[in-house]
Structure 1
Protein backbone atom coordinates (compact mmCIF):
# COMPACT_ATOMS: atom_id res chain seq x y z
CA UNK A 1 0.00 0.00 0.00
CA UNK A 2 1.23 3.53 -0.69
CA UNK A 3 2.20 5.74 2.23
CA UNK A 4 0.24 8.94 2.93
CA UNK A 5 2.05 11.42 5.20
CA UNK A 6 -0.27 13.90 6.92
CA UNK A 7 1.97 16.77 8.00
CA UNK A 8 0.25 19.29 10.25
CA UNK A 9 0.54 21.75 13.10
CA UNK A 10 -2.26 22.05 15.64
CA UNK A 11 -2.37 24.10 18.80
CA UNK A 12 -5.95 23.69 20.05
CA UNK A 13 -6.64 20.24 18.55
CA UNK A 14 -8.96 21.41 15.75
CA UNK A 15 -6.44 20.88 12.95
CA UNK A 16 -5.45 17.57 14.53
CA UNK A 17 -9.11 16.47 14.42
CA UNK A 18 -9.12 17.28 10.69
CA UNK A 19 -5.84 15.36 10.21
CA UNK A 20 -7.37 12.27 11.80
CA UNK A 21 -10.46 12.61 9.58
CA UNK A 22 -8.24 12.79 6.47
CA UNK A 23 -6.48 9.64 7.74
CA UNK A 24 -9.78 7.80 8.21
CA UNK A 25 -10.77 8.60 4.65
CA UNK A 26 -7.54 7.18 3.20
CA UNK A 27 -7.04 4.27 5.61
CA UNK A 28 -8.48 1.53 3.37
CA UNK A 29 -6.24 2.46 0.44
CA UNK A 30 -3.03 3.75 2.06
CA UNK A 31 -0.71 3.32 4.99
CA UNK A 32 -0.99 6.47 7.13
CA UNK A 33 1.77 8.43 8.88
CA UNK A 34 0.42 11.23 11.08
CA UNK A 35 3.29 13.73 11.29
CA UNK A 36 2.44 16.41 13.84
CA UNK A 37 4.79 19.40 13.96
CA UNK A 38 5.41 20.27 17.62
CA UNK A 39 7.17 23.14 19.37
CA UNK A 40 10.21 20.98 20.20
CA UNK A 41 10.79 20.54 16.44
CA UNK A 42 11.71 24.24 16.23
CA UNK A 43 15.22 25.00 17.51
CA UNK A 44 16.47 28.60 17.36
CA UNK A 45 13.72 29.33 14.83
CA UNK A 46 14.65 26.42 12.54
CA UNK A 47 12.65 23.21 12.03
CA UNK A 48 14.73 20.18 13.00
CA UNK A 49 12.96 16.83 12.78
CA UNK A 50 14.80 14.60 10.31
CA UNK A 51 12.49 11.64 10.95
CA UNK A 52 9.40 13.60 9.88
CA UNK A 53 11.10 14.79 6.67
CA UNK A 54 12.33 11.25 5.92
CA UNK A 55 8.76 10.00 6.28
CA UNK A 56 7.75 12.40 3.50
CA UNK A 57 10.66 11.10 1.41
CA UNK A 58 9.08 7.61 1.57
CA UNK A 59 5.50 8.76 1.04
CA UNK A 60 3.59 8.67 -2.23
CA UNK A 61 1.28 11.46 -1.06
CA UNK A 62 1.30 14.29 1.48
CA UNK A 63 -1.54 16.23 3.07
CA UNK A 64 -0.48 19.59 4.54
CA UNK A 65 -2.49 21.04 7.44
CA UNK A 66 -2.32 24.14 9.58
CA UNK A 67 -4.68 26.60 11.22
CA UNK A 68 -4.87 29.92 9.43
CA UNK A 69 -3.23 32.59 11.57
CA UNK A 70 -3.10 36.21 10.43
CA UNK A 71 -3.94 35.22 6.85
CA UNK A 72 -1.53 32.31 6.41
CA UNK A 73 -0.21 29.07 7.89
CA UNK A 74 1.12 29.01 11.45
CA UNK A 75 4.78 29.95 11.94
CA UNK A 76 5.53 26.39 13.07
CA UNK A 77 4.29 25.01 9.75
CA UNK A 78 6.21 27.70 7.87
CA UNK A 79 9.40 26.66 9.72
CA UNK A 80 8.86 23.11 8.42
CA UNK A 81 8.25 24.42 4.89
CA UNK A 82 11.38 26.57 4.98
CA UNK A 83 13.47 23.61 6.16
CA UNK A 84 12.20 21.54 3.21
CA UNK A 85 14.39 23.61 0.87
CA UNK A 86 17.07 20.89 1.02
CA UNK A 87 14.57 18.51 -0.58
CA UNK A 88 13.46 21.24 -3.01
CA UNK A 89 16.95 21.77 -4.41
CA UNK A 90 17.09 18.07 -5.31
CA UNK A 91 13.37 17.80 -6.22
CA UNK A 92 13.17 14.77 -3.92
CA UNK A 93 9.40 15.14 -3.51
CA UNK A 94 8.63 15.60 -7.22
CA UNK A 95 5.56 13.75 -8.58
CA UNK A 96 4.13 13.00 -5.12
CA UNK A 97 0.43 13.87 -4.82
CA UNK A 98 -0.33 16.69 -2.35
CA UNK A 99 -3.42 18.21 -0.75
CA UNK A 100 -4.19 20.69 2.02
CA UNK A 101 -6.59 21.49 4.84
CA UNK A 102 -6.97 24.45 7.17
CA UNK A 103 -9.28 26.00 9.71
CA UNK A 104 -9.81 29.62 10.67
CA UNK A 105 -11.72 31.68 13.19
CA UNK A 106 -14.33 32.89 10.68
CA UNK A 107 -16.03 31.58 7.55
CA UNK A 108 -14.19 34.22 5.52
CA UNK A 109 -11.01 34.13 7.61
CA UNK A 110 -8.52 34.04 4.72
CA UNK A 111 -8.22 30.23 4.77
CA UNK A 112 -7.87 30.33 0.98
CA UNK A 113 -4.51 32.05 1.39
CA UNK A 114 -3.25 29.15 3.54
CA UNK A 115 -4.44 26.62 0.96
CA UNK A 116 -2.77 28.67 -1.78
CA UNK A 117 0.44 28.65 0.28
CA UNK A 118 0.25 24.84 0.52
CA UNK A 119 -0.33 24.48 -3.23
CA UNK A 120 2.62 26.75 -4.03
CA UNK A 121 4.81 24.78 -1.60
CA UNK A 122 3.78 21.61 -3.44
CA UNK A 123 4.48 23.23 -6.82
CA UNK A 124 7.93 24.30 -5.63
CA UNK A 125 8.64 20.65 -4.88
CA UNK A 126 7.28 19.46 -8.24
CA UNK A 127 4.33 17.75 -6.55
CA UNK A 128 0.91 17.24 -8.16
CA UNK A 129 -1.98 19.02 -6.42
CA UNK A 130 -5.23 17.33 -5.38
CA UNK A 131 -8.12 19.70 -4.73
CA UNK A 132 -11.75 18.99 -3.92
CA UNK A 133 -14.10 18.02 -6.73
CA UNK A 134 -17.26 18.89 -4.80
CA UNK A 135 -19.02 22.08 -5.94
CA UNK A 136 -19.55 24.24 -2.86
CA UNK A 137 -23.15 24.50 -1.75
CA UNK A 138 -24.26 21.78 -4.17
CA UNK A 139 -23.60 18.59 -2.18
CA UNK A 140 -26.66 16.98 -0.52
CA UNK A 141 -24.61 15.98 2.56
CA UNK A 142 -23.17 19.47 2.95
CA UNK A 143 -19.58 18.59 2.05
CA UNK A 144 -17.32 21.48 1.03
CA UNK A 145 -19.50 23.82 3.08
CA UNK A 146 -17.30 26.88 2.48
CA UNK A 147 -16.94 26.14 -1.23
CA UNK A 148 -13.15 25.92 -1.52
CA UNK A 149 -12.08 23.84 -4.51
CA UNK A 150 -8.36 24.17 -3.69
CA UNK A 151 -8.64 22.09 -0.50
CA UNK A 152 -10.55 21.81 2.75
CA UNK A 153 -11.31 25.13 4.45
CA UNK A 154 -13.35 25.17 7.63
CA UNK A 155 -14.08 27.13 10.79
CA UNK A 156 -15.68 26.35 14.14
CA UNK A 157 -19.42 26.80 14.52
CA UNK A 158 -20.56 27.17 18.14
CA UNK A 159 -17.12 26.00 19.26
CA UNK A 160 -17.02 22.77 17.23
CA UNK A 161 -16.19 21.53 13.74
CA UNK A 162 -19.37 20.82 11.78
CA UNK A 163 -19.90 17.15 10.97
CA UNK A 164 -20.08 18.06 7.27
CA UNK A 165 -16.51 19.40 7.45
CA UNK A 166 -15.26 16.19 9.06
CA UNK A 167 -16.98 14.23 6.29
CA UNK A 168 -15.28 16.53 3.77
CA UNK A 169 -11.90 15.83 5.41
CA UNK A 170 -12.54 12.08 5.12
CA UNK A 171 -13.47 12.57 1.48
CA UNK A 172 -10.26 14.55 0.86
CA UNK A 173 -8.24 11.65 2.31
CA UNK A 174 -10.09 9.16 0.13
CA UNK A 175 -9.62 11.32 -2.96
CA UNK A 176 -5.91 11.75 -2.25
CA UNK A 177 -5.44 7.98 -1.84
CA UNK A 178 -7.41 7.34 -5.07
CA UNK A 179 -5.18 9.78 -6.96
CA UNK A 180 -2.06 8.03 -5.66
CA UNK A 181 -3.44 4.75 -7.02
CA UNK A 182 -4.10 6.34 -10.41
CA UNK A 183 -0.68 7.97 -10.47
CA UNK A 184 0.99 4.65 -9.63
CA UNK A 185 -0.96 2.85 -12.38
CA UNK A 186 -0.01 5.49 -14.96
CA UNK A 187 3.63 5.24 -13.89
CA UNK A 188 3.52 1.46 -14.24
CA UNK A 189 1.97 1.74 -17.72
CA UNK A 190 4.61 4.26 -18.81
CA UNK A 191 7.44 2.01 -17.69
CA UNK A 192 5.83 -0.93 -19.51
CA UNK A 193 5.59 0.99 -22.78
CA UNK A 194 8.85 2.93 -22.54
CA UNK A 195 11.25 2.12 -25.37
CA UNK A 196 14.51 0.46 -24.40
CA UNK A 197 17.53 2.81 -24.32
Structure 2
Protein backbone atom coordinates (compact mmCIF):
# COMPACT_ATOMS: atom_id res chain seq x y z
CA UNK A 1 0.00 0.00 0.00
CA UNK A 2 1.29 3.45 -0.92
CA UNK A 3 1.61 6.62 1.12
CA UNK A 4 -1.71 7.73 2.63
CA UNK A 5 -3.15 10.86 1.05
CA UNK A 6 -5.65 13.62 1.49
CA UNK A 7 -7.76 13.97 -1.64
CA UNK A 8 -8.22 17.64 -2.51
CA UNK A 9 -11.26 17.43 -4.74
CA UNK A 10 -12.65 20.56 -6.37
CA UNK A 11 -14.44 22.36 -9.16
CA UNK A 12 -13.07 25.74 -10.21
CA UNK A 13 -14.66 27.87 -12.92
CA UNK A 14 -12.62 31.07 -12.65
CA UNK A 15 -9.47 29.89 -10.85
CA UNK A 16 -10.06 30.89 -7.21
CA UNK A 17 -10.80 27.38 -5.99
CA UNK A 18 -7.85 25.93 -7.93
CA UNK A 19 -5.60 28.52 -6.29
CA UNK A 20 -6.96 27.67 -2.85
CA UNK A 21 -6.37 23.96 -3.56
CA UNK A 22 -2.67 24.68 -4.09
CA UNK A 23 -2.36 26.25 -0.64
CA UNK A 24 -4.37 23.50 1.03
CA UNK A 25 -2.02 20.99 -0.63
CA UNK A 26 0.94 22.93 0.75
CA UNK A 27 -0.53 22.57 4.24
CA UNK A 28 -1.13 18.83 3.77
CA UNK A 29 2.39 18.30 2.47
CA UNK A 30 3.87 20.07 5.51
CA UNK A 31 2.82 17.06 7.60
CA UNK A 32 5.03 13.97 7.52
CA UNK A 33 3.69 10.56 6.55
CA UNK A 34 0.88 11.78 4.30
CA UNK A 35 0.63 13.61 0.99
CA UNK A 36 -1.82 15.69 -1.01
CA UNK A 37 -3.53 14.34 -4.13
CA UNK A 38 -5.11 17.24 -6.04
CA UNK A 39 -7.98 16.39 -8.38
CA UNK A 40 -10.73 18.31 -10.15
CA UNK A 41 -14.11 17.30 -11.54
CA UNK A 42 -15.17 18.00 -15.14
CA UNK A 43 -17.88 20.46 -16.05
CA UNK A 44 -21.39 19.21 -16.78
CA UNK A 45 -23.37 19.97 -19.92
CA UNK A 46 -26.23 22.44 -19.63
CA UNK A 47 -28.34 20.96 -22.42
CA UNK A 48 -27.48 17.30 -23.05
CA UNK A 49 -24.95 14.66 -22.16
CA UNK A 50 -21.51 15.65 -23.38
CA UNK A 51 -18.30 13.67 -23.36
CA UNK A 52 -15.22 15.04 -21.68
CA UNK A 53 -11.68 13.99 -22.53
CA UNK A 54 -10.10 11.73 -19.91
CA UNK A 55 -7.31 14.25 -19.39
CA UNK A 56 -8.29 17.92 -18.85
CA UNK A 57 -6.82 20.61 -21.08
CA UNK A 58 -5.33 22.31 -18.03
CA UNK A 59 -4.97 21.94 -14.29
CA UNK A 60 -5.21 18.83 -12.13
CA UNK A 61 -6.31 15.41 -13.41
CA UNK A 62 -9.94 14.42 -13.05
CA UNK A 63 -10.87 12.51 -9.90
CA UNK A 64 -12.01 8.92 -9.86
CA UNK A 65 -14.33 7.25 -7.36
CA UNK A 66 -11.50 4.86 -6.48
CA UNK A 67 -9.31 7.80 -5.46
CA UNK A 68 -12.09 9.01 -3.19
CA UNK A 69 -12.61 5.54 -1.72
CA UNK A 70 -8.90 5.10 -0.94
CA UNK A 71 -8.23 8.55 0.54
CA UNK A 72 -7.37 9.02 4.20
CA UNK A 73 -9.02 12.44 4.29
CA UNK A 74 -10.97 14.74 1.97
CA UNK A 75 -10.84 18.47 1.26
CA UNK A 76 -13.80 19.46 -0.90
CA UNK A 77 -13.76 22.76 -2.79
CA UNK A 78 -16.42 24.61 -4.75
CA UNK A 79 -17.44 28.13 -5.67
CA UNK A 80 -20.55 29.25 -3.83
CA UNK A 81 -23.48 29.33 -6.25
CA UNK A 82 -26.52 30.77 -4.47
CA UNK A 83 -25.20 29.42 -1.17
CA UNK A 84 -24.62 25.86 -2.36
CA UNK A 85 -22.03 23.81 -4.23
CA UNK A 86 -21.57 23.92 -7.99
CA UNK A 87 -23.41 21.36 -10.13
CA UNK A 88 -20.25 19.55 -11.39
CA UNK A 89 -19.14 18.75 -7.85
CA UNK A 90 -22.67 17.76 -6.81
CA UNK A 91 -22.83 15.49 -9.88
CA UNK A 92 -19.63 13.73 -8.77
CA UNK A 93 -20.88 13.32 -5.19
CA UNK A 94 -24.19 11.95 -6.48
CA UNK A 95 -22.26 9.03 -7.98
CA UNK A 96 -20.90 7.87 -4.60
CA UNK A 97 -23.82 5.64 -3.55
CA UNK A 98 -21.67 2.49 -3.67
CA UNK A 99 -19.12 4.10 -1.34
CA UNK A 100 -21.98 4.89 1.03
CA UNK A 101 -23.36 1.35 0.83
CA UNK A 102 -19.96 -0.14 1.61
CA UNK A 103 -19.01 2.45 4.25
CA UNK A 104 -15.72 3.34 2.57
CA UNK A 105 -15.62 6.89 3.94
CA UNK A 106 -16.78 6.26 7.51
CA UNK A 107 -14.58 7.91 10.19
CA UNK A 108 -12.38 9.70 7.67
CA UNK A 109 -11.95 13.47 8.19
CA UNK A 110 -13.34 15.95 5.69
CA UNK A 111 -13.22 19.71 5.28
CA UNK A 112 -14.45 22.25 2.76
CA UNK A 113 -13.26 25.39 1.04
CA UNK A 114 -15.16 27.91 -1.08
CA UNK A 115 -15.10 31.25 -2.86
CA UNK A 116 -17.73 33.88 -3.61
CA UNK A 117 -17.54 37.32 -5.19
CA UNK A 118 -19.39 39.16 -2.43
CA UNK A 119 -18.86 39.32 1.33
CA UNK A 120 -22.23 37.73 2.04
CA UNK A 121 -22.34 35.60 -1.10
CA UNK A 122 -23.00 32.33 0.68
CA UNK A 123 -19.52 31.25 1.88
CA UNK A 124 -20.75 29.68 5.09
CA UNK A 125 -23.94 28.23 3.62
CA UNK A 126 -21.94 26.61 0.81
CA UNK A 127 -19.65 24.97 3.38
CA UNK A 128 -22.72 23.75 5.27
CA UNK A 129 -24.09 22.26 2.04
CA UNK A 130 -20.83 20.32 1.63
CA UNK A 131 -21.19 18.86 5.12
CA UNK A 132 -24.54 17.20 4.46
CA UNK A 133 -23.55 14.44 2.00
CA UNK A 134 -20.25 13.87 3.78
CA UNK A 135 -21.98 13.40 7.13
CA UNK A 136 -24.27 10.88 5.42
CA UNK A 137 -21.08 9.05 4.43
CA UNK A 138 -20.02 8.98 8.10
CA UNK A 139 -17.13 11.39 7.62
CA UNK A 140 -15.88 13.63 10.44
CA UNK A 141 -16.14 17.36 9.59
CA UNK A 142 -12.97 19.31 10.39
CA UNK A 143 -13.35 23.08 10.52
CA UNK A 144 -10.88 25.84 11.33
CA UNK A 145 -10.49 26.65 15.04
CA UNK A 146 -9.81 30.17 16.27
CA UNK A 147 -6.24 29.40 17.28
CA UNK A 148 -5.68 30.36 13.63
CA UNK A 149 -5.32 34.09 14.29
CA UNK A 150 -6.03 34.95 10.64
CA UNK A 151 -9.70 34.15 11.37
CA UNK A 152 -9.73 37.22 13.61
CA UNK A 153 -7.67 39.52 11.39
CA UNK A 154 -9.09 38.69 7.95
CA UNK A 155 -11.01 41.38 6.08
CA UNK A 156 -11.71 39.00 3.20
CA UNK A 157 -12.42 35.24 3.32
CA UNK A 158 -12.17 32.90 6.27
CA UNK A 159 -14.72 31.05 8.42
CA UNK A 160 -14.57 28.53 11.27
CA UNK A 161 -16.47 26.11 9.00
CA UNK A 162 -13.67 26.03 6.43
CA UNK A 163 -11.37 28.19 4.35
CA UNK A 164 -12.96 30.74 2.02
CA UNK A 165 -11.96 33.44 -0.45
CA UNK A 166 -13.62 36.75 -1.18
CA UNK A 167 -13.15 37.48 -4.89
CA UNK A 168 -13.67 41.13 -5.81
CA UNK A 169 -15.02 39.89 -9.15
CA UNK A 170 -15.41 36.54 -10.86
CA UNK A 171 -11.96 36.73 -12.46
CA UNK A 172 -10.17 37.62 -9.22
CA UNK A 173 -8.27 34.65 -7.84
CA UNK A 174 -5.46 36.42 -5.99
CA UNK A 175 -5.70 35.31 -2.37
CA UNK A 176 -4.91 37.62 0.53
CA UNK A 177 -2.16 36.60 2.95
CA UNK A 178 -4.79 35.72 5.55
CA UNK A 179 -6.69 33.56 3.05
CA UNK A 180 -3.48 31.75 2.09
CA UNK A 181 -2.64 31.20 5.75
CA UNK A 182 -6.09 29.76 6.47
CA UNK A 183 -5.94 27.45 3.45
CA UNK A 184 -2.58 26.13 4.59
CA UNK A 185 -3.86 25.74 8.16
CA UNK A 186 -6.87 23.83 6.81
CA UNK A 187 -4.60 21.49 4.85
CA UNK A 188 -2.32 20.92 7.82
CA UNK A 189 -5.25 20.18 10.14
CA UNK A 190 -6.98 17.73 7.79
CA UNK A 191 -3.68 15.88 7.29
CA UNK A 192 -3.04 15.67 11.04
CA UNK A 193 -6.61 14.49 11.66
CA UNK A 194 -6.29 11.85 8.93
CA UNK A 195 -3.22 10.42 10.62
CA UNK A 196 -4.87 10.45 14.07
CA UNK A 197 -8.11 8.86 12.90
CA UNK A 198 -6.27 6.13 10.97
CA UNK A 199 -4.69 4.79 14.19
Instruction: Give the CA deviation at 1:149.
Output: 1.2
Structure 1 window deviating more from structure 2 (171-180 vs 145-154): it is 145-154
1:178 pairs with 2:196: no
Are the equivalent residues in 2 in contact too, given 1:135–1:147 (CA < 8 A)? no
d(CA) in 1 for partners of 2:147, 2:50: 39
With the length of structure 2 as denominator, give the TM-score of the two structures: 0.81
Cα deviation per residue 1:14-57 (whole Å; 9 max; x = unaligned)? 1000011100011132221111112279983899x896210111
> Which residue in the other structure is 1:168 paired with?
182
d(CA) in 1 for partners of 2:155, 2:144: 8
Query: CA 1:96–1:15 in structure 2 vs 1: closer, same or farther (change >3 Å)?
Result: same
> Which residue in the other structure is 2:10 paired with?
8
Q: How many residues align?
A: 183
> Which residue in the other structure is 2:58 paired with?
none
**Higher relative helix content:** 1
Query: CA 1:177–1:78 in structure 2 vs 1: closer, same or farther (change >3 Å)?
Result: same
1:148 pairs with 2:152: no
d(CA) in 2 for partners of 1:23, 1:144: 23
Instruction: Give the CA deviation at 1:143.
Output: 5.5
d(CA) in 2 for partners of 1:118, 1:40: 18
1:99 pairs with 2:111: yes
Q: What are the ranges of 5 or more consecutive residues in structure 1 without an aligned counterpart?
A: 188-197
Trace 1:1-197 onto structure 2 (pairs within 5 A).
1-29=3-31, 30-39=34-43, 44=49, 52-134=64-146, 139=150, 142=153, 146=157, 148-157=159-168, 159=172, 160-184=174-198, 187=199
3-state secondary structure, aligned to 1:69: coil
Are the equivalent residues in 1 in contact too, given 2:151–2:159 (CA < 8 A)? no
Q: What are the ranges of 5 or more consecutive residues in structure 2 without an aligned counterpart?
A: 55-61
**Higher relative strand content:** 1
Cα deviation per residue 1:42-73 (whole Å; 9 max; x = unaligned)? 983899x8962101111100000000012211
With the length of structure 1 as denominator, give the TM-score of the two structures: 0.81
d(CA) in 2 for partners of 1:91, 1:41: 30
d(CA) in 1 for partners of 2:107, 2:195: 13
Are the equivalent residues in 2 in contact too, given 1:102–1:114 (CA < 8 A)? yes
Are the equivalent residues in 1 in contact too, given 2:111–2:162 (CA < 8 A)? yes
d(CA) in 1 for partners of 2:92, 2:74: 14
Are the equivalent residues in 1 in contact too, given 2:11–2:78 (CA < 8 A)? yes
- RMSD of the TM alignment (CA)? 2.9
3-state secondary structure, aligned to 1:98: strand
* Relative contact order higher in (CA < 8 Å, ≥ 6 apart): 2
Q: Which has the larger radius of gyration?
A: 1
